[in-house]
Amino acid sequence: MRIGIIAEGTEDQAVIRLILKAYGVDGSDIVAIRPSLQRDATDAADSSIGTFQGVKNACEGKDGLRPDFERFFIFPDNQFMVIHLDTAEIEQQNFTFTKPLKTNNPDYCTQLRNSVIDLINTWLDHQYSNQLLYAIAIEEIEAWCLTLYIQADTAQSADPKSKFWKEANRKKIKGTASLAGLCKDFSKLKKLKSYLPYNQSLKDFADSVEAAI
């Protein structure tokens, strides 16, 4: 079984890859479709490839065709596609989208995640839905990563990206400074499961992967 990833950025892709590995997916069976593979030197100036807009473009396709999905799913071994989106700037990127109320709303993360999933399925014209795994990071994927350092609901953090790097620097972790490099423990199932209670959207994604595989 091979799994593709369409993500906003390469760092997001790398974190998702770690989570898939925790559930036994070998790295050689994970296909990083966007943004990394669709670039060439000529296209390097196209900054939309590795962004929210890039994910949206891939899902919406053009002239009724969605090349990333069609091409990926013509191979029977290619069974699932992970679609990643951060919700932090989703209203600015998608003017018709309205986030649920956050204050005093215990189901905020679940409701927001479901709304984003609906949005993605609208983009896709409701195709491929039983082959999709939704990596919807409430706020930013750094909120998922923050669970490595903070044993509290990291979705409540106002600026998870800054907080993550602040915590990472505070721990004085040596070596690689990449997001995935700091989140290697996500690739170990027991450790990953210990982080899940601290971020609902991370848990929802991890549960969906576990159910699919």
Contacts 24+ apart (CB under 8 A), 153-157: 153/198, 153/199, 153/200, 154/198, 154/199, 155/108, 155/109, 155/199, 155/200, 155/201
Task: Tell me how far, at minimum, the Cβ of 100 lies from other proteins, in Å.
Answer: 36
Cα–Cα distance for residue pair 212/133, rounded to 1 Å: 8
Contact mark string toward other proteins, 40..69, x via CB under 8 A: ------------------------------
What six digits make up the tokens of 20? 């898939």
Task: Tell me how far, at minimum, the Cβ of 78 lies from other proteins, in Å.
Answer: 7
# chain residues binding other proteins, by CB under 8 A? 22
Q: Given candidates 41, 44, 77, 170, which one binds other proteins under the rule CB under 8 A?
A: 77
User: Is residue 178 at the binding interface for other proteins, with CB under 8 A as the rule?
Assistant: no
Q: Given candidates 76, 95, 101, 172, which one binds other proteins under the rule CB under 8 A?
A: 76
Cα–Cα distance for residue pair 146/104, rounded to 1 Å: 22
- What is the radius of gyration, based on Cα positions, of the chain? 17
User: Is residue 2 at the binding interface for other proteins, with CB under 8 A as the rule?
Assistant: yes
User: Is residue 33 at the binding interface for other proteins, with CB under 8 A as the rule?
Assistant: yes
